Amino acid sequence: MTEVYPRVALIGLGLIASSMFWAMKRRGVVGHVTGYARSAATRDTARRIGLCDTVCDSAAEAVEDADLVVLAVPVGVMGDVAAEIAPYLKPGCTVTDVGSVKKTVIEAVAPHLPEGVHFVPGHPLAGTEHSGPESGFASLFDNRWCLLVPVEGAAPEAVETLTTFWQALGANVELMDAEHHDLVLAVTSHTPHLIAYTMVGVADDLRRVTDSEVIKYSAAGFRDFTRIAASDPTMWRDVFLNNKEATLEILGRFTEELFALQRAIRTGDGDHLHAYFTRTRAIRRGIIEAGQDTDAPNFGRTRTER
Amino acid sequence: MTEVYPRVALIGLGLIASSMFWAMKRRGVVGHVTGYARSAATRDTARRIGLCDTVCDSAAEAVEDADLVVLAVPVGVMGDVAAEIAPYLKPGCTVTDVGSVKKTVIEAVAPHLPEGVHFVPGHPLAGTEHSGPESGFASLFDNRWCLLVPVEGAAPEAVETLTTFWQALGANVELMDAEHHDLVLAVTSHTPHLIAYTMVGVADDLRRVTDSEVIKYSAAGFRDFTRIAASDPTMWRDVFLNNKEATLEILGRFTEELFALQRAIRTGDGDHLHAYFTRTRAIRRGIIEAGQDTDAPNFGRTRTER
Ligand SMILES: NC(=O)c1ccc[n+]([C@@H]2O[C@H](COP(=O)([O-])OP(=O)(O)OC[C@H]3O[C@@H](n4cnc5c(N)ncnc54)[C@H](OP(=O)(O)O)[C@@H]3O)[C@@H](O)[C@H]2O)c1
Ligand SMILES: NC(=O)c1ccc[n+]([C@@H]2O[C@H](COP(=O)([O-])OP(=O)(O)OC[C@H]3O[C@@H](n4cnc5c(N)ncnc54)[C@H](OP(=O)(O)O)[C@@H]3O)[C@@H](O)[C@H]2O)c1
């Protein structure tokens, strides 16, 4: 495969960045990859396991000469990192990110970037409940979506090259605007995650009543909620704080519908329940027809196997 | 394997009953199996695919001479079915059920059963989102729990024999009292299902805004909610109407916690969110340690393969 970018810098060396590294190396998509993470512990781990061709001790050093800079840190620190690297960016390079929220990340990052640098925000829809430099694997993005959210005035060539890059990593790329991205993700990912966290919290409270039975019989439906609720607390805190508006909007609708169902249970309105449960089947059929269901239903999370 | 019951009658020929039939045949656990379902269509299908040794045209006929009678119909009709078969039950036989709720089923069934008949209610914690006579498969209960909920005065021998029977079908058997069963299941299964149904309903409402994107990007977390929400509407209507008290109790706690998280998002209280998301990880660890997690997280649902 021809090189898409001669030099790539990964800022943040967690699940997403490390998966990107192994996926780049699998296909020989790029030349040299530098990496940087905040803690010396993570940088040491990266060096030990061969994550990145060069692990740098500062973000500035990592981005120098890079043709593509990937911000792969929690959403809440994207702005700080952008400010830190801005003076060292090579003119004409592309900066992208992998944050799960797009509108606030763009607002935080864009003002720091010098003219002549192409900012093309992105979001690969792939993950696991694991995090850190050792959790990545090359196939994470295979046949998953990567959404690119070009900001106004983004150079079409920069968007095209980044598209080629993500395709080489295994992903299918789509373009979307930031606001719409945040609403769609609030429905398909953020609110489901918040709900799962909540249900697990309730079960945790109830452990005194039910002893270990909640765990013992968790396979009855609850277990997958706990898989989600094991995801990184910092990442999810930042997602909810940064996709506040859309998440609160969807949550509002959710509680409205939940209250209607709750009232139907309380008043014994079986017809309401039956009609509701029948209607929701249509969406399921749509997903099967769209080929979005697989044998391993797992909240879009892939198992860790490198 | 020695015969546990010479003659078994299955009333209702859906997912659970048909899986029980194939599991019984796999191990030669019983002698002769009769079956009955409400509709002629289901009875015809059963005859066509060889489900049951004899498919009867009335429940009365099916239970005559049976040593074990299994009520495998929706929770809401258990009482009616019990009343219908009661006059034809063989003295000394065991009647069990597989309903997902236990307290109201016992209240509905027990009064109809004549003296000398042993009533041992049960609930196998296994299922898929499919239903009907063609959805069953022999391995559904393998290594899954089956909870038995003996009513006061149940003959210990009857409970023991039923335990042996379920073990021969592949399940691990535990005894539990009805009220506790209904609370534990409200946490591990019923409330998670209601929440998933609700989230899918919200997404369905939003389809106008997001076009088909909710479906397209469903793998980001939402997809598994839709799997649940494809389950049989009648079964779930009956579950919620019959486990009203425990479900409303858990739902009440759920909305309380959800409101607290919602407020934290609205006010930007990142510490609250982070602390909550950290706490829920402990439950996940417990489940992994208890060996209740598998490679195919699937809401306790197994794929249909006979
Ligand atoms: N995980 C998913 O499912 C998923 C999916 C799609 C997108 N995303 C997005 O991808 C991004 C990264 O997620 P991840 O799962 O890869 O996270 P992760 O495994 O927790 O890794 C985060 C990395 O960021 C580094 N970091 C944190 N603060 C930093 C700072 N101020 N300066 C430099 N480095 C810093 C961390 O360094 P230390 O190790 O030294 O702390 C760590 O290497 C997030 O924006 C997330 O929203 C995640
Ligand atoms: N599915 C699960 O995940 C699961 C798990 C554990 C326990 N359970 C419990 O198991 C029971 C059966 O569930 P299932 O999934 O096997 O259901 P299912 O596949 O929908 O089958 C239900 C069967 O009951 C029959 N039936 C309905 N009303 C009847 C009546 N008045 N008289 C005689 N037969 C009647 C139906 O007959 P027709 O086909 O003619 O309509 C059908 O054969 C329910 O109580 C459920 O709560 C289900």
Tokens representing B242 are 């019959």
The model's pLDDT over B25-54, given as tens digits with 9 standing for 90+, comes to 999 999 999 999 999 999 999 999 999 999
Side chain identity, residue B174: E
The model's pLDDT over B141-174, given as tens digits with 9 standing for 90+, comes to 999 999 999 998 789 999 999 999 999 999 999 9
Cβ–Cβ under 8 Å, residues A302 and A129 = no
The model's pLDDT over A35-66, given as tens digits with 9 standing for 90+, comes to 999 999 999 999 999 999 999 999 999 999 99
pLDDT given at position A132: 97
Range(s) of chain A covered by CATH 3.40.50.720: 5-176
When scoring A179, A198, A212 by the number of chain B Cβ atoms within 10 A, the one with the most, hence best to mutate, is: A198
In the structure, what pLDDT confidence band is assigned to residue A228 with cuts at 50, 70 and 90?
confident
When scoring B224, B232, B239 by the number of chain A Cβ atoms within 10 A, the one with the most, hence best to mutate, is: B224
Count of CB atoms situated within 10 Å of the CB of A151: 16
Would you call B218 exposed, middle or buried from its count of C-beta atoms within 10 A (0-12, 13-18, 19+)?
buried
Chain A residues whose beta carbon lies within 8 Å of the beta carbon of residue B268: 241, 244
CATH architecture, domain defined by A5-176? 3-Layer(aba) Sandwich (3.40)
| ipTM of this complex prediction, to 2 decimal places | 0.92
DSSP string of B46-99, one letter each residue? HHHHT-SSEE-SSHHHHHTT-SEEEE-S-GGGHHHHHHHHGGGPPTT-EEEE--
Please indicate whether, in this complex, the C-beta atoms of A222 and B265 are within 8 angstroms of each other: no
pLDDT given at position A131: 94
In the structure, what pLDDT confidence band is assigned to residue A221 with cuts at 50, 70 and 90?
confident
The model's pLDDT over A264-277, given as tens digits with 9 standing for 90+, comes to 999 999 999 999 99
pLDDT given at position A208: 67
What are the backbone angles phi and psi of residue A218, rounded to the nearest 5°? -65, -20
User: Is any ligand 2 atom within 6 A of the Cβ of residue B75?
Assistant: yes
pLDDT given at position B303: 36
The strand pair at A145-148 and A122-124 is best described as antiparallel
Which one is the CATH code of B180-289: 3.40.50.720, 3.20.170.30, 1.10.3660.10, 3.30.565.10?
1.10.3660.10
**A96: helix, coil or strand?**
strand
Please indicate whether, in this complex, the C-beta atoms of A261 and B197 are within 8 angstroms of each other: yes
Q: Across residues B212-230, what is the average pLDDT?
A: 81
Element (H, E) at B163: helix B156-168
What is the whole-number distance in angstroms between the Cα of residue B134 and the centre of ligand 2?
12
Distance from the Cα of B7 to chain A's closest Cα (Å) equals 30
**pLDDT exceeds 70 at position A296:** no
Mean pLDDT value across chain B: 91
Interatomic CA distance for residues B252 and B186, integer angstroms = 12
Mean pLDDT value across chain A: 91
**pLDDT exceeds 90 at position A282:** no
Range(s) of chain B covered by CATH 1.10.3660.10: 180-289
In the structure, what pLDDT confidence band is assigned to residue A298 with cuts at 50, 70 and 90?
very low
What is the whole-number distance in angstroms between the Cα of residue A146 and the centre of ligand 1?
17
Chain B residues whose beta carbon lies within 8 Å of the beta carbon of residue A297: 223-224, 227, 296-299
User: Is any ligand 1 atom within 6 A of the Cβ of residue A104?
Assistant: no
Nearest to A276 by CA among A293, A291, A259: A259
CATH of domain B5-177: 3.40.50.720
In the structure, what pLDDT confidence band is assigned to residue A302 with cuts at 50, 70 and 90?
very low
Chain B residues whose beta carbon lies within 8 Å of the beta carbon of residue A183: 209-210
**pLDDT exceeds 60 at position B298:** no
